[in-house]
Structure 1
Amino acid sequence: MTLRLVVVDDHPVVRDGLRGMLGTQPDFEIVGEAAGGLEALTVVEAVVPDVVLTDLRMPEPSGGTLIRLLRERVPSVRVLVLTTHDTDSDVLPAVEAGAIGYLLKDAPREELFRAVRAAARGETVLAPSVAALLLERVRPKPTLTRARLSARELDVLALIAEGRTNREAAAELFISEATVKTHLLHIYAKLEVPDRASAVAAAYRRGILER
């Protein structure tokens, strides 16, 4: 099956290079190209390709806006981003707008060929740096749990929560009062609080201590 492609980039040299590279594959056919967003919308609506390879930063509409419009006007089209930019401000809007793939322009040609074929099949293709960025954004942020405090810090915190003084806590744990103060400083830093009362309140609120 021949895959029909449209190349969108505001640099003629890049378009020429992509056309020449993609043209080496017998199952690829370049059916259109565009130098900006408005032209891309017109071309894609006219030829209805399988895959659009597009840069992000070019004459408007561009980036996520262009991808969203392409998907709205030609729902069957798969949009594969091919760009030099892999920052949050570029990647996230593109993916949220419906891009099925995101590659960087320094990708090896064989990787690009595989990405085009995968995109046509509806498979997501991401450059490693982009995949790592997205994973970091969706991964739940760690919250402070009992495991983040040492066993001795938990002991000190529990005694403080019971109303013990530093001296009383030291005596019960068979450590010096200075050591108790050191543990408290570590607890304050980990809980991001200024004093013992705030530490106890935060510990109960976060489930580190049980009432």
Structure 2
Amino acid sequence: MRTGIRVVVIDDHHLFVRGLELLLPEVSDGRAAVVASTGDAAYAASVARHAVPDLVLVDLHMPAPGGVRAIGAVRRAAPRARVLAMSGDDDPAIAIEALRGGATGFLPKSSDPADLLQPLLAAVDGWAVLPDQLLAVLTEQTRRTAAHPAATLSEPDRELLRLIAGGSSTVEMAATLHVSERTVKRLTAGLLRKLHVASRAEAAAVAGQAGLL
């Protein structure tokens, strides 16, 4: 088991932070400790850079610039640190946003402090830490994406779809792709058939659903 785990907490709930400061060393037999904290997301990067942490806990529900942006800033300032997002609610949407923003895992703030040690150790060792509910949501999203027609598109088709979704005209797409307008119309017709849609507007909606925008 790892020793001397340095933890930084980015959270504006002072009682929660104080609780971690007191209880984390106790439940870990001194193996983990909070070495720095801030309740201002704007200072997250600076605190992480100077504290040289192994692990950074970031509350997602913070005043602007917010927890998700703080995660990105921390990742740039302390690239070797693992970042775990935390939240007091069970809405998976913001947790997924945090994972896309660079968090390596998520923990509900309702967790008992005594139950935090193993997930924290696992995160530091490189594991993705996710509660069962969030893992189920991610698995379902992956299944739906894999089954989506856009998942099988080639990169040229994806580029064309992005241009369509961006509102480019046939002339603009021809210039961007370095082909004739006739070719653009032919390629567009073929793309609509692949996506099983009848119009560019429907294709744009597909691009949004598939996360291509």
TM-score, L = length of structure 1: 0.63
Seen in structure 2, the aligned counterparts of structure 1 residues 23 and 137 have a Cα distance that, compared at 3 Å, is same
| Equivalent pair of 2:7/2:36 in contact (CA under 8 Å) | yes
Seen in structure 2, the aligned counterparts of structure 1 residues 142 and 20 have a Cα distance that, compared at 3 Å, is same
Percent sequence identity is 32
Letter in 2 for 1:16: R
Aligned residues: 144
- What's 1:105 paired with? 109
Seen in structure 2, the aligned counterparts of structure 1 residues 41 and 141 have a Cα distance that, compared at 3 Å, is closer
- What's 1:126 paired with? 130
- What's 1:79 paired with? 83
Once residues 107 and 68 of structure 1 are traced to their aligned partners in structure 2, the CA distance between those partners, rounded to angstroms, is: 24
- What's 1:15 paired with? 17
> After the TM superposition, which of the residue ranges 83-92 and 50-59 deviates more from structure 2?
83-92
* Higher relative contact order structure (alpha carbons within 8 Å, sequence separation ≥ 6): 2
- What's 1:37 paired with? 41
| Equivalent pair of 1:79/1:101 in contact (CA under 8 Å) | yes
Once residues 103 and 32 of structure 2 are traced to their aligned partners in structure 1, the CA distance between those partners, rounded to angstroms, is: 20
CA RMSD of aligned residues (A): 1.9
Q: Which consecutive unaligned segments of at least 5 residues does structure 2 have? A: 148-195, 197-213
For residue 85 of structure 1, report the CA deviation from its aligned partner. Answer: 2.9
- Which SS does the other structure have where 2:144 is aligned? coil
Per-residue CA distance 1:40-63 (angstroms, 9 max, x = gap): 222111111000111101122223
> Runs of 4 or more off by more than 6 Å in structure 1?
none
TM-score, L = length of structure 2: 0.62
| Equivalent pair of 2:6/2:32 in contact (CA under 8 Å) | yes
For residue 88 of structure 1, report the CA deviation from its aligned partner. Answer: 4.1
Larger radius of gyration: 1
Letter in 2 for 1:37: A
For residue 89 of structure 1, report the CA deviation from its aligned partner. Answer: 3.2
- What's 1:162 paired with? none
